[in-house]
């Protein structure tokens, strides 16, 4: 039997010097530390930008005039009087809940000092579009949104 030596096609192993291993061990934590500090700086910058944006929004909103209205709730009708000296442009009226409550968008300009009677049955759910039923539901809160004014929130007793 004859044995023939087989030559490997892989490149020869490179000898790793102890100094190179030591240097690699030292640099690995630095890379990790540098990456961690970059992420911390980016996160800090995002938080600062967000805080500035929220602060600017509050300042902008505080300069808007207040929305004044006289709101009366009857069993089947909502009676609202514009108490401002300026008309409301296409106001939005929300019942009970600012997020998911029944809503009604009033088209056009609502002139100053004008009183309107709005049937409660005209209000529809924001998500399910179900009509508000005054026989089974009670109006606890009315929110009026009009462009250029702060929110007007009125609670019933």
DSSP state of 124: B
Q: Give the model's pLDDT for residue 50.
A: 94
Q: Where are the domains of the chain?
A: 16-63, 69-155
Q: Give the model's pLDDT for residue 33.
A: 59
How distant, in Å, are the alpha carbons of 3, 5, 15, 17, 146 from that of 10? 21, 15, 15, 21, 76
* Residue 18 exposed, middle or buried by CB count within 10 Å (0-12, 13-18, 19+): exposed
Residue environment code for 22-40, b if the CB has 16+ CB neighbours within 10 A, otherwise e: eeeeeeeeeeeeeeeeeee
Residues 81-96: pLDDT tens digits? 999 999 999 999 999 8
Q: Give the model's pLDDT for residue 68.
A: 87
**Which stretches of the chain score pLDDT less than 50?**
none
Q: Please give the backbone phi and psi of residue 119, each rounded to the nearest 5 degrees, phi first.
A: -65, 135
CATH of domain 69-155: 2.60.40
């Amino acid at each position: 039997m004859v044995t023939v030596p087989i030559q490997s096609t892989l490149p020869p192993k490179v000898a790793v010097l102890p100094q190179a291993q030591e240097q690699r061990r030292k640099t690995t934590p630095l890379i990790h530390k540098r990456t961690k500090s970059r992420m911390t700086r980016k996160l800090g910058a995002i938080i600062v930008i967000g805080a500035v944006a929220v602060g600017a929004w509050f300042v902008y909103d505080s300069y808007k005039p207040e929305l004044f209205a006289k709101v009366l709730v009857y069993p089947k009708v909502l009676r609202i009087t514009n108490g401002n000296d300026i008309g409301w442009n296409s106001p939005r009226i929300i019942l009970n809940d600012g997020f998911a409550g029944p809503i009604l968008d009033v088209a056009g300009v609502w002139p100053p000092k004008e009183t309107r009677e709005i049937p409660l049955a005209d209000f529809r759910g924001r998500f399910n579009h179900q009509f508000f039923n005054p026989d089974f539901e009670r109006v606890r809160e009315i929110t009026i949104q009009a462009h250029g004014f702060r929110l007007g929130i009125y609670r019933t007793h």
